[in-house]
């Protein structure tokens, strides 16, 4: 049986993701697609708009054979850490023949050449990069300019300006780093741009646009006046806009769980973040991933101006530091992801378990095959984690804490019963 691996967030699942699953199986000749998916927090450094198990159910109903959770330390890392974490997990499963990712350019040879340059970092390229960074511009822009000058081609610089291209290049770097036999494929990203925030009828809208609509659908929940109801801003009014944008099975789930499990906002975590920051010093903050000395000083200096999570992140932004970098840094502080922990995980094989979130009932034989071929223990129930090494238990403890924190926010917001991560069952459809 041929298996292709997909790396995703499904935040939320939409028609473009359905196309990706179907097209990936077609061009790779795979019999099934296995997904490594971010859990309750995503790579942009924010909480997912809806819980991981709801997104898992959508993926399974739309053709994914199984969904594995990407540990939170990688899911919320930079593009490099995100890609290396996801690719190394697929590689370790032992049954994945290929990975297939979306890209704006759909030019695998050019992406492979960029991956080679970025991995080898020739001295001339590094000198150009240092020069641009000294001008005070952000790292992503400096890298684009250095790559363009080093290669003498604007084409390579343009490729590095698009988010899916960047992730794809990092996947290729990760495959090289692992010396993996897994073969890469790419398909062109169709429809609206990654950052477009408006729905586009007749083509694939971006996840950003769908999240914007879902956020608006929760506005009444945030601003409800005494004596008001949700009826004027009910989800039913948004169904017609989402029809044709998400698969029918996903639309039904969105309707069933609206204002029960989602939408979830960054600002829903405001008090938790402020609590975490109140007893920190600049020296203690620099222990966390993505937190530089300069950012740590700014956080402490501006803490009295903290109004909410999103506003504080915007307040910390500078010309040299992107908003996404700041969001990730604040999320690492809130979740307790430290630099030393990341170094320990990376130095000892990246992963210590493969945690299953969900599987299709007609594809459960894949699990037996993974159990035979994987270099990692297949973790279906958390009660089975007792034999993990100390580093693996630390990673899993951080994953569980992050998930319980997210679930606590959701259940408090929507007044539903809390269910500890230990009691959550694997999703089967």
* Residue 79 marked ligand-binding: no
Structure tokens at 241: 């806009």
Mention every residue, 6+ apart, whose C-beta is less than 8 A from residue 227: none
* Residue 12 marked ligand-binding: yes
Element (H, E) at 69: strand 66-70
* Residue 304 marked ligand-binding: no
Under DSSP, the state recorded for 47 is B
Are residues 58 and 323 in contact, defined by beta-carbon separation less than 8 angstroms? no
Are residues 46 and 331 in contact, defined by beta-carbon separation less than 8 angstroms? yes
* Residue 164 marked ligand-binding: yes
Structure tokens at 360: 């299709």
Are residues 352 and 391 in contact, defined by beta-carbon separation less than 8 angstroms? yes
* Residue 16 marked ligand-binding: yes
* Residue 258 marked ligand-binding: no
* Residue 332 marked ligand-binding: no
Give φ, ψ of 411 to 5 degrees.
Answer: -70, -35
* Residue 420 marked ligand-binding: no
* Residue 9 marked ligand-binding: yes
CA proximity to 143, closest of 86, 158, 104: 158
Cβ–Cβ contacts within 10 Å for residue 291, how many?
Answer: 25
* Residue 13 marked ligand-binding: yes
351 to 36, 90, 276, 327, 423: CA distances (angstroms) = 13, 10, 27, 25, 23
d(CA 406, CA 409): 5
b/e string for 47-85 if b means 16 or more Cβ within 10 A?
A: bbbbbbbbbbbbbbbbbbbbbbbbbbbbbbbbbbbbbbb
* Residue 102 marked ligand-binding: yes
The residue assigned the tokens 């000198």 is: 127
* Residue 330 marked ligand-binding: no
d(CA 427, CA 429): 7
* Residue 307 marked ligand-binding: no
Give φ, ψ of 46 to 5 degrees.
Answer: -135, 165
Structure tokens at 101: 């990712």
Mention every residue, 6+ apart, whose C-beta is less than 8 A from residue 86: 7, 36, 70, 74, 171, 174
Q: Binding site, residues?
A: 7-20, 102, 164, 189
List the binding residues for ATP: 7-20, 102, 164, 189
């Amino acid at each position: 049986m041929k298996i292709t691996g997909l790396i995703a967030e499904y935040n939320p699942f939409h028609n473009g993701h359905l196309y990706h699953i179907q097209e990936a199986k077609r061009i790779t000749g795979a019999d099934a697609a296995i997904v490594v998916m971010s859990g309750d927090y995503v790579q942009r450094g924010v909480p997912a708009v809806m819980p991981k198990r709801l997104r898992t159910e959508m993926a399974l109903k739309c053709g994914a054979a199984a969904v594995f959770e990407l540990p939170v330390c990688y899911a919320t890392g930079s593009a490099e850490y995100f890609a290396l974490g996801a690719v190394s997990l697929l590689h370790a499963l032992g049954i994945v023949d290929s990975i297939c990712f979306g890209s704006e350019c759909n030019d695998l040879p050019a992406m492979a050449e960029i991956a080679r340059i970025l991995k080898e970092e020739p001295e001339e390229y590094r000198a150009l990069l240092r020069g641009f960074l000294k001008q005070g511009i952000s790292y992503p822009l400096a890298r684009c300019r250095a790559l363009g000058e080093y290669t003498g081609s604007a084409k390579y610089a343009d490729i590095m300006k698009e988010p899916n291209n960047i992730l794809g290049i990092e996947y290729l770097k990760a495959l090289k780093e692992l010396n993996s036999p897994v073969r890469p494929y790419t398909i062109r990203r169709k429809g609206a741009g990654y950052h477009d925030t408006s729905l586009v009828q007749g083509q694939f809208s971006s996840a950003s646009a769908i999240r914007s609509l879902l956020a608006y659908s929760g506005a009444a929940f945030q601003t409800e006046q005494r004596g008001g109801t949700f009826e004027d801003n009910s989800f039913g009014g948004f169904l017609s806009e989402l029809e044709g944008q998400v698969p029918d099975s996903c639309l039904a789930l969105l309707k069933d769980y609206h204002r029960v499990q989602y939408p979830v906002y960054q600002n829903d975590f405001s008090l938790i973040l402020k609590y975490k920051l109140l007893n920190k010093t600049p020296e203690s903050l620099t222990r966390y991933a993505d937190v530089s000395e300069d950012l740590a000083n700014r956080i402490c200096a501006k803490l009295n101006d903290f109004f909410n999570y999103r506003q504080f992140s915007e307040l910390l932004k500078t010309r040299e530091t992107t908003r996404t970098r700041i969001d990730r840094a604040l999320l690492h502080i809130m979740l307790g992801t430290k630099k030393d922990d990341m170094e320990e995980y990376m130095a000892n094989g990246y992963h210590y378990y493969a945690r299953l979130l969900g599987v299709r009932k007609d594809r459960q034989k894949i699990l037996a095959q993974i159990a035979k071929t994987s270099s990692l223990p297949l973790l279906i129930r958390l009660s089975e984690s007792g034999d993990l090494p100390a580093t693996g238990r630390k990673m899993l403890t951080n994953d569980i804490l992050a998930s319980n924190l997210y679930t606590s926010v959701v259940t408090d917001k929507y007044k539903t019963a809390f269910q500890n991560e230990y009691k959550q069952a694997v999703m089967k459809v």
